[in-house]
Structure formats: structure tokens, C-alpha cells
Chain A
Amino acid sequence: MTVQNQEEINRLKNLVQDLLDESKKQGSTSAEAGLSVDNGLSVTARLGEVETIEHHCDQGLSITVYIGKKKGSASTNDFSSNSIKETVKAACSIASFSSEDEFAGLPDQERLATEFPDLDRNHPWNLDVDTAIDLTVECEDAARSYHADINNSEGASIDSHQGIRVLGNTLGFLQGYQATRHSMGCSVLGERDGNMQRDYWYSISRKAEKLESAKDIGMMAAERTIKRLGARSLTTRQSPVLYSAEVASGLIGSLIGAISGGSLYRKSSFLLDALDTQILPGFIRIHEQPHLKMALGSSVYDSEGVSTIARDIVSEGVLQGYVLASYSARKLGMQSTGNAGGVHNLTVDSGDNDFAAMLKQLDTGLLVTELMGQGVNRVTGDYSRGASGFWVENGQIQYPVEEITIAGNLKDMYKNIVSVGNDVDYRGNIRTGSILIEQMAIAGE
């Protein structure tokens, strides 16, 4: 169990209730209000000395009002009672001008969360500036002393944030919680024979003690930079492609985008009408785990207050459900899946292969460790992105590569996944190991 600053949460809950009351007073038929406050410290050290110290202090509140089936929203960072009145007024004015939309409105009452288990998200770090400086200097030192070819640095940094979020609506939902987020990262440059490269590493957690050590982060950043030195292009070819875990999450992210309510009802998805069909190979299961303790994507309810649910989205390669909020669900004649604001700890079940086994399975082909640009057409699934990584032969890394693109169509790429590794990257909201794709087009020199 973690300690919550219940007094402060209650004060902010009262503010949200004031917003909701004010909106009724001003003529709205229903409303939803949210509020957040966040305090933090960021420290960066470069070349052995502190470079920046930033004290963060953010707050904001927002309200969405409905006048019948007409909707308006407004937000501000001024919490004064006068500002609350003005903000509600702005939202009501917008609602009076917008059109009737039969699908608009608050979530269905029976879908709102009613139980609120502690998800262990609040672990304040009593970090003073001097300690933060010491840690970042130690982190960067570890990177700079790792190898003689490391000759410059973008620095090491620490961020520590603590915030409170409150959500309420006129159906009687009013909840708040406190959560923390801490991270440490480092980025260094190396040079060999005139070739300059840069890479980075970071660690993130809700609890400071769970962060990788400053030294490990620095060494990892340096090791990644050193491995890239001497990168060259490839000739244009077809080849199997292994997405390392940190870029594989983007592949799964595109899939989630395509089965999200907004893309579906706008028909701007390459996976329309895919429910109950085979979109991935039979060995793949993708599921949501919203209630994992201390995890970064954990939440009892979504950004509308609807209960989140542990569920399979893809099972044996077959699409089991969409990713819906109340509005998109109504547009599609379905039920919200508790995904207003996105998915929660989306997990791709991994196989038995560690990274080395994945490389062996790749045999000869491209290992991608970084992607550039946004070249994904969400309507057609056409995919073309800049890439860098390593050329692999017989399961062994041969040399670093850069200035190439990889291209295909996501629908085919998903079907042609050969295996998923157990080298899971837990730093984001999408948890997957490396992913091997049978074949893609590589363009280069």
C-alpha cells in the first residue's frame, strides 16, 4: 500500500465538484471534468558538470459539457473561482453552437468503475538537487569512460515527477489518485575514422529504487553508441527483418491505432471489419493488463471513468475486440472497452526465444534498432520508414547499417510474423519482445 495525500486529493476533488456544479448552474444537462497537478525536478549534467536545473510545477483543469446532445469543451490553468466560471461559460457557449450528435454524451452509468483497488502507483522520491547532480554526473561518467571512442556527450538527465489526477462527472463519479514517475537517461557520442554516432539509454519507473543504476544506464548508452560506429548503407534488397524490442512496440502501436474506435468509425483504418478474423499468426496473443501493480500503464478506470478490463484483444491470431471509448462504441453500435485515452499495459505474449535465439532464427537479414519518420499510411497500411541497425549473417551481427529504409504493407507484415522474443521492453505501455518478420523491402545505396 502506498500513502496518498488524501487531504490534497479531497481539496482538488472539491474543485472538480465546483466545476460540475457550476456547469449545471449555467444550463448544461450533463458534464465531465478533469484536473491535474504535477510537480517535478529535472536535472541534466554534461561533460562532468551540471548543465540545467528545472523546477516543474504544472496544473490544469478541463470541462466538457453537454446541452442535450450538443458538446463543448474548455480548459485553463487558472484555478480561481472566477476562472472556473469563465471556463464553464466558454464550454457552454461552444456547446450552444455545435450540432446535435445523437452519439454524444457521458458514458453509460453501469460501465463506470465502482471499485478502486490500490495499483501502487505512488512512490515519491525525496530527491534534492545535489543528489540529482551527483547521480547524473555518475551516469554520464560511466558512459564517457566506457570506451576511448566516446568523445562527446549530450549529457545525462534525471526527471522526477509526482502528480494528482481527479476525474468527475454529473453521474456521480468523482475519483482522484496520486502517482509518481521517475526516469534517468544518458546520450553520448562516439567517433571513429570521421564517422560520428550517437545513441542513448534510459530507465523509467514509478519507484526510484526500481530504476537501473546510474552506472548501468551510462554504460548501456555508451555500448549502444560504440556498436553503431562505422555504420554503412546496404544495397537495395528483400530480406527478413528483426525489430528489436524497443522498436517492435511501434509495430504493435500501429495495429492498436487501426482497431481503435476513431479510425474505425471514420473508416480510416486498414483493418476495417477485421473482428473475428485472423490478422496475426495463430501463435500470437495480445492482451491488456490494466491492473498490474506499479506498472506505468495501469489504471482502474479510463479517462471517462469507465472500468478498465483485463482482456484478450488478439487470441490465437484472431482479433477478439476493438479499442473503444463511449463515443466511438456508440457510433459502431458496440460497448466501450474502457479505452478512452488508450490501452493499458498492452502485452504481447512472448515465446521461448531470447534475443540470441531470435538472431539465430533471423539467420541472415536485418536487425532494426531505430526507426525514423512517420511513413505509415493508416488508411491503406502502406509502411515505409527510415531505419538503422545491424546486418546479421548466420545469426551473428556483422556490421552496423544506416541510411536505409524498410517498406511493406502492415497487413502482410502482421501475417508474416515468424516469432516474438522474450526480451521484453517494459519501459512503455506496450510490452513486447523483439519481432521477426519474414520479409520486407530494404532500399539503400
Chain B
Amino acid sequence: MDTLNQVKQSILTPYGMQEKDIDKIMDSMLSVPVDNADIYFQSSHFESWSLEGGIVKEGSHSIEQGAGVRVVSGDKTGFAYSDRIELSVLLEAANNVKAIARQGQNTQNKLETIPKWNRYYESVNPLKSLADQEKIDLLRKIDIETRKLDSRIEEVMVSLVGVHEKILVANQDGSLVADIRPLTRMSVSVILEENGKREQGSMGGGARTEYSYFLDQDKALEYGKEAVRQAIVNLDAVDAPAGNMTVVLGPGWPGILLHEAIGHGLEGDFNRKGTSAFSNKVGERVASDLCTVVDDGTLEGRRGSLNIDDEGTPTEKTVLIEKGILKGYMQDKLNARLMGVKSTGNGRRESYAHLPMPRMTNTYMLPGSHNPVEIIKSVKKGLYAKNFGGGQVDITSGKFVFSASEAYLIEDGKITCPVKGATLIGNGPEVLTKVSMVGDDLELDAGVGTCGKEGQSVPVGVGQPTIKIDGLTVGGTNV
């Protein structure tokens, strides 16, 4: 059975809904002049298992489903949703949201046909991909093997999360598209103690696939090893320096720099409204010519990848910055239409109960030509940051932060002692113009990223090669 029929059978059929009922709801919404109307059905099964203190303490399971109806007229949106997938309920919702149309100044209703799209992950159900006992055995094995690594380990915490999500999008042009989205994540955290001093380390990963992903090449055990390694490094860390200095960022997860410094600022809604520090800058230089940055929802199995976005538009590899020049923004349908461009397949929403908006998928910088060792060698005095926690950005002022969780001093071209975690702060439109070397070692993150915007969380990915920034403020205590 194809995806569309599979999704229809599991979202519509149990509630006695048929395709003609969708038409009825849509007809009701289209009885007033609108630019865009859609109905978004979603069913999501979620499970999590967690281990601490050597035992699998708890697990949880949740089932959620519902539908959201939306009418867009000009730049105005009416929205309602219900967890009851029933014709009468959704007709009432449709009736409620139509009121927005009398407020809007409808432009024109251009119908687009949806092209065929590729698949970047299989329609599998991760929750069923291992027996429950096998999931528990996996957590226990990681706990036991990780504890063997170092006698200073005080606590090991392991969690396993799986999501099986099905979506169905009905658009005003009569199109009906569906996607089945598996998502898995595992993480390991450890606490080490030495002479009364404690430190933590954590590592995890995930993908849009089955749990077998974590068994492959003992990936899950590697998370444990990496968490312990980070904690050991931090036990010896000295105070971080404070001030503006040359910073070398390692490959992979440090690409959170791109997500915060430029990614959010290049989302279509902020630029349509002119509230971003990058507004009206297409065609201008915003980075050194070593920098080419893309947002790519089409990477095989990645956490941030999607076959289609939540408006039914196929995802793309969108060039944001090419050789330092700003090429374009990430768009959903509403903002694309108002800016006179096409959606880039970045219309995403946390669930049926939230409105879609332009969001990132996997955002990364393409590799350059430098050997990473060469890059470190070129720095007389600076900071090498290898791992990060979260970040944040003020898209209007352009100021962004991201917090290093593993960093070292660079002295005379060599990585020397580890320093304590510190927040790095910079200015989005400026920071990439200071990129003076780009490594040939592009890496994507391990698959644990979650992005929050206006209260909505969605899974994302980041990546980059090793890069050298000729000046960034490091927020240590050593003034």
C-alpha cells in the first residue's frame, strides 16, 4: 500500500472520515475569498525509556492525533484545531477560521500542482523495530559497558526515544499528500567525581530510522565513551579566558553557529516583515568568500530531513549564502507568496495544534580546502571549541550566543589545556565575514538538535567543517 493510502487508513478511517468529508471542510473554507487554505491531519505515537542508578526506572508512551484548519487571506491567518477528527467538529472549526477573510485583502488564487518528490527515509515504525525487552537490554548494556570505562563514574543516565508520526495535508487546490516520519534519539549522560570535584559529560545521536541504527557498529556504546571522555576533559579544565580572540570551531555540532548567527535571521517571515538584521540584504556580502551555507531537507535519514514540509511542499537543498553572498531566504507558502517567490519547502509546525512558519531543516557550511591541523597551527593565541550546548539569537539586533561545553586554549599553534565551558557571543551579519580559513573536514551533527521558535519545537540538524573566526567574544571568567 502506498503512503497516502496507509496514512488515510490510520488517520481518517478509524474516525469514520472519508476523502469527500475533507472536500466538504475545504469547500466551507473556500466559500469566502482566500489565498490559501489547508487542513493538516496528524497522528503521533511516542515512547521513551530511561535508565538511571543502574535500573530502567520508567518508560512512557503517548498517542496524540488531531487536525488543524487554516485560512490565509493576504497576510492574515485564521486557525483552529481539534483533537477530535470528526466532520462536524472540523466543519465548525472551518466556520470559525473563515472570519479572517473579511479582514483580509485577498490577492489572487494561483493554483500550483505539486511535483513528485523523493524519499529520504523509509516509512518504518521505530517503536515496533525492537521488542520492548530488547530496548531495555540495550539501555542496560550501555550502562554496564559505560561504567567499566572509568572508576570515577558516579552516575550514568541513558534514554531512548522513538516517534512514529503520520501526516496528511489537504490543500485548496484539491491536492492531498501524506508522509510517514520515523524519528529516534538516544542519549547518554555521565557524572564523574574526583576528590570532591564533579563534572558531567553527555553524548547522543539519532536519525529518521529504526532503533537498529544504535546497534550498528556499537554506536550506542560510542555515545557512552564520548560522554565519559568529555567529563574527564572537563575535570581538568581551568578558567576560560574572557574577551575578544581568534576562535577555531571544530567540525559537526559547532555548526550551531550557523543555525543561530544566520539561520534564524534568514527565515522568510522575519524578512518579509523587515524585522531581521538580514532584511533586504539579498545579493550583498554577509560572509567571507570561503563560506557557502545551505539548508538541506533532502539528506538521507537525517533528523532535520523531511520528504515534504508540513504544507505538503517537497523539501529542497536551498543555497542561503554562496561564496559569501546572500542568495535567499527559507520560505513557507504565506511568506513566499507575499515576497513574490516560491516556497522552499521550509513550512514546518510542531503539531496540528500549531501554525506553520518558515523553519530550518539541516543547515550546514560546505567544506573548504584547509587541513584542520593547518588551521590550528595558524593560530598564535586563541580558543578551540569542540562541543557546544544550546544557543540563542536576537534576530533584530543580530546578536547571538552559543555555549561551548568542551574547549581548549590554542597557544603557538598547539591545542594546550582544556578550559571551562563559556558562552561565545557575536553579531550574525558580521561573524562570517571574519571566517579566514575553512577546513576540508565537513561533518554533520550526531542527530539530537531541537530548535525552538515562538514556542514551537522541531527537530533540526547542523554541520560544518573546522573553521577559523578572526575575532569572537569569549565569555570566560579570566579577565
Contact = CB atoms under 8 A, between A and B. Distances in A.
Contacts of B403: 373-375, 384
B138 to A, nearest CB: 12
Given A74-B61, A78-B83, A384-B240, A154 B273 contact: yes
A402 interface: yes
Given A90-B61, A403-B426, A380 B198 contact: yes
A74 B127 CA distance: 14
Contacts of A49: 76, 103
Interface stretch (B21-29, B293-301, B374-382, B384-392): B384-392
A274 to B, nearest CB: 14
A444 B243 contact: yes
A129 interface: yes
B63 A76 contact: yes
B58 A71 contact: yes
Interface string B371-409: 000000000000000000111111011011111000000
Contacts of B391: 373
A236 B155 contact: no
Contacts of B273: 46, 152, 154
Given A189-B275, A382-B421, A97 B56 contact: yes
* Most chain B C-beta atoms within 10 Å of own C-beta, residue among A62, A99, A267: A99
Contacts of B198: 267-268, 379-380
A356 interface: no
Given A53-B78, A154-B273, A443-B475, A129 B99 contact: yes
Contacts of A55: 79-81, 93, 96-97
Contacts of A93: 61, 132
Contacts of B96: 55
Given A99-B55, A373-B392, A407 B475 contact: yes
A358 to B, nearest CB: 24
Nearest to B63: A76
Nearest to B105: A49
A444 B80 contact: no
Given A53-B77, A99-B56, A386 B425 contact: yes
What is the interface of chain A mostly: helix, strand, loop, or mixed? Answer: strand
A210 B59 CA distance: 42
Interface in B233-278: 240, 242-244, 273-275, 277
B396 A189 contact: yes
Interface in B168-208: 191, 193, 198-200
A56 interface: yes
B217 interface: no
Interface string B451-479: 00000000000000000000001111111
Given A94-B61, A101-B57, A152-B273, A267 B477 contact: no
B274 A152 contact: yes
A375 B473 contact: no
Contacts of A54: 79-80, 355
A154 B273 CA distance: 8
A27 B476 CA distance: 55
B342 to A, nearest CB: 23
B394 A198 contact: yes
A196 B429 CA distance: 13
A266 interface: yes
Interface in B22-66: 52, 55-66
A90 B59 CA distance: 10
B151 interface: no
A236 B243 contact: yes
Contacts of B99: 53, 129
B396 A50 contact: no
Contacts of B228: none
A50 B83 CA distance: 26
Contacts of A340: none
B348 interface: no
Contacts of B59: 72-73, 94, 97-98
Given A57-B82, A198-B396, A236-B242, 12 more contacts: A53-B100, A55-B97, A94-B58, A99-B55, A99-B56, A236-B243, A373-B402, A375-B475, A386-B475, A403-B426, A404-B473, A407-B476
15 contacts: A57-B81, A59-B83, A60-B64, A71-B57, A72-B59, A93-B132, A152-B275, A196-B277, A198-B397, A267-B193, A268-B155, A373-B390, A379-B198, A384-B477, A407-B476
Interface of B: 52, 55-66, 75-83, 93, 96-97, 99-100, 103, 132-133, 136, 154-155, 157, 191, 193, 198-200, 240, 242-244, 273-275, 277, 353, 355, 389-394, 396-397, 399-403, 420-423, 425-427, 473-479
